């Protein structure tokens, strides 16, 4: 076991949670309080360049702190003058690293779906996930940002008794400010680079139109559809233009397309989101209300599908 820390905080690393192209995430414990945390670590320089993605994520998360659907930041730093100091072994070398110490969360919702015997989630569970995700995106958008990578793999729940039914949006590495600090909207760029995950981005993103809050919500519609049905119809399509065409067909008529496999409530929600124009400010409360029928009499604090051995999802396919 290795120890990293500063004069104020000391953490004991207990194991690796996961890793990818942008670093590693470790499970650790705060020595003072015994609180469990997740520590995201990334070499400060990769191929000779400072990695800006994690520095951006740190700044955005700090600005959004206090909102219930944003990961709680405990410490962060990107050099030896900031409040978390340490080194990480990379092969036989030692590199100064970037750190983000955050609340420990559940496995992501995409993996919770995969764990289901029928590879999908029940309606009331998905309805509550969607309502909470809408609230999360509202808070991000009101903060002046768009997420640009909304998908089941970037949604988790807390793990404590107080937070286990509170959805949290994660991975702010692709976030972009769409409003200035004075609240005015930034002008759209004539052409934007592709940002996001092909499976979930809106048609506007395929067309390289600058993203806005509506595009985050379109990604949420596709995410919810995948959770409800199991897979998206373009899952195995390779070419981006062909994926775009499949999305156009789905949006053409939700009652006759792949969306017809869902319920009326979700189809109405999808139509409302698809009708949002570039730059239009969404009515988040109205979108949440469209999902009320799906949720039924379930409360946000009631058990979700994975807490009931996926009973609702299994019964839904019989």
| Dist. CA 164–CA 166, nearest whole Å | 6
Q: Which of 52, 78, 103 is the last residue of a domain?
A: 103
Q: What's 95's domain CATH number?
A: 3.30.200.20
* 81-108 CB burial, b ≥16 within 10 A, e <16: eeebbbebeeeeeeeebbbbbbbbbbbb
Same domain flag for 195 and 294 = yes
- For residue 7, how far is the Cα from the chain centroid? 33
Copy the structure tokens of residue 4: 């990293």
One domain, residues 147 and 216: yes
- Ramachandran region, residue 189 (left: φ > 0; alpha: ψ -120 to 50; beta: rest): beta
In a domain, 204, yes or no: yes
162 with 98, same domain? no
Together in a domain, 75 and 208: no
User: Mapping DSSP to helix (H, G, I), strand (E, B) and coil, where does residue 112 land?
Assistant: helix
**Which residues are marked as active site?**
149
In this structure, is residue 2 part of a structural domain? Answer: no
Per-residue pLDDT band at 117 (split at 50, 70, 90): very high
- pLDDT tens for residues 33-48? 888 999 888 776 665 5
Separation of alpha carbons 287 and 289, rounded Å: 5
pLDDT band at 8 (very low <50, low <70, confident <90, very high): low
pLDDT of residue 300: 95
Is 40 annotated in some ligand binding site? yes
Instruction: Name the percent of the chain lying above pLDDT 70.
Output: 86
Q: Is residue 1 included in any domain, yes or no?
A: no
What would the pLDDT profile of 60-112 be if each residue is shown by its tens digit? 999 999 999 999 998 887 544 333 334 333 333 335 577 888 999 999 999 99
Q: Identify whether the C-beta of residue 137 lies closer than 8 Å to the C-beta of residue 220.
A: yes
Closest alpha carbon to 169 in 266, 27, 68, 26: 68
Same domain, 142 and 276: yes
Query: Is-contact 274 218, C-beta < 8 A?
Result: yes
- 281 vs 21, more confident: 281
DSSP 235: T
The residue among 69, 288, 284 whose CA lies nearest residue 172 is 69
Query: What HEC string does 36-82 produce?
Result: EEEEEEEECEECCEECHHHHHHHHHHHHCCCCCCCCCEEEEECCCCC
Are residues 224 and 298 part of one domain?
yes
Nearest Cα to 131, choosing from 254, 265, 289?
Answer: 289
Pair 122, 39 in one domain = no
For residue 5, pLDDT over 90 is answered with: no
Residue 64's φ and ψ, nearest 5 degrees, are: -95, 5
Regarding whether 284 and 143 lie in a shared domain, the answer is yes
Predicted pLDDT of residue 111: 96
Does any domain span residue 247? yes
Cα atoms in the 13 Å half-sphere on the side-chain side of 187: 2
How confident is residue 216, by pLDDT bands cut at 50, 70 and 90?
very high
How many domains does the structure of the chain reveal? 2
Q: Which residues lie closer than 8 Å to 303 by C-beta, 6 or more apart?
A: none
Question: Same domain for 141 and 26?
Answer: no
Residue 3 lies in a domain: no
| Dist. CA 138–CA 105, nearest whole Å | 21
Kindly indicate the confidence band of residue 164, based on its pLDDT and cuts at 50, 70 and 90. very high
Instruction: Calculate the average pLDDT of the chain.
Output: 87
Neighbouring CB atoms inside 10 A of 60's CB total 20
CATH number at residue 237: 1.10.510.10
Residue 291 within a domain: yes
pLDDT level of residue 32 (50, 70, 90 thresholds): confident
CA 40 to chain centre: 16
- Whether residues 98 and 137 share a domain: the answer is no
Q: In angstroms, rounded to a whole number, what is the distance separating the alpha carbons of residues 156 and 173?
A: 16
Answer whether residue 299 is part of any domain: yes
**Domain check: are 142 and 60 in the same one?**
no
Residue 264 inside a domain? The answer is: yes
Domain hosting residue 97, numbered range:
8-103
Token pair belonging to 8: 């104020």
Same-domain check for residues 83 and 140? no
Q: Which residue has the higher pLDDT, 190 or 150?
A: 150
Give the closest residue to 230 by CA, choosing from 122, 144, 132.
Answer: 122
Query: In this model, does residue 27 exceed pLDDT 60?
Result: yes
Boundary residue ending a domain (72, 103, 134): 103
User: Quick check: 6 pLDDT over 70?
Assistant: no
Of 81, 103, 125, which marks where a domain is finished? 103
**Most confident region among 18-22, 78-82, 168-172 by mean pLDDT:** 168-172
């Amino acid at each position: 076991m290795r120890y990293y820390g500063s004069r104020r905080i000391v953490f004991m690393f207990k194991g690796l949670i996961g890793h990818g192209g942008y670093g590693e995430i470790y499970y650790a414990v705060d020595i003072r309080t015994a609180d469990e945390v997740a520590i995201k670590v990334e070499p400060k320089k990769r191929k000779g360049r400072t990695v800006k993605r994690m520095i951006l994520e740190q700044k955005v998360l700090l600005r959004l702190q206090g909102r219930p659907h944003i990961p709680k930041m405990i410490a962060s730093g990107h050099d030896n003058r900031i409040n978390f100091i340490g080194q990480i072994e990379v092969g036989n070398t030692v590199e100064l690293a970037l750190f983000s110490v955050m609340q420990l969360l559940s496995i992501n919702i995409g993996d919770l779906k995969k764990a289901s015997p029928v590879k999908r989630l029940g309606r009331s569970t998905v309805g509550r996930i969607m309502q909470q995700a809408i609230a999360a995106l509202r808070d991000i958008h009101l903060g002046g940002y768009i997420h640009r990578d909304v998908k089941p793999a970037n949604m988790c729940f807390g793990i404590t008794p107080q937070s286990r039914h509170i959805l949290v949006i994660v991975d702010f590495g692709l976030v972009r400010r769409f409003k200035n600090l004075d609240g005015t909207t930034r002008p759209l760029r004539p052409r934007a680079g592709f940002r996001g995950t092909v499976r979930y981005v809106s048609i506007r993103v395929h067309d390289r139109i600058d993203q806005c809050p509506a595009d985050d919500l379109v990604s949420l519609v596709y995410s919810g559809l995948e959770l409800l049905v199991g897979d998206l119809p373009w899952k195995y399509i390779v070419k981006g233009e062909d994926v775009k065409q499949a999305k156009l067909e789905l949006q053409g008529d939700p009652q006759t397309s792949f969306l017809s496999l869902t319920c009326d409530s979700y189809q109405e929600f999808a139509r409302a989101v698809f009708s949002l124009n570039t730059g239009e400010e969404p009515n988040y409360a109205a979108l949440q209300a469209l999902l009320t029928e799906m949720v039924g009499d379930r409360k946000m604090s009631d058990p979700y599908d994975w807490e009931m051995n996926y009973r609702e999802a299994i019964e839904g396919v019989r």
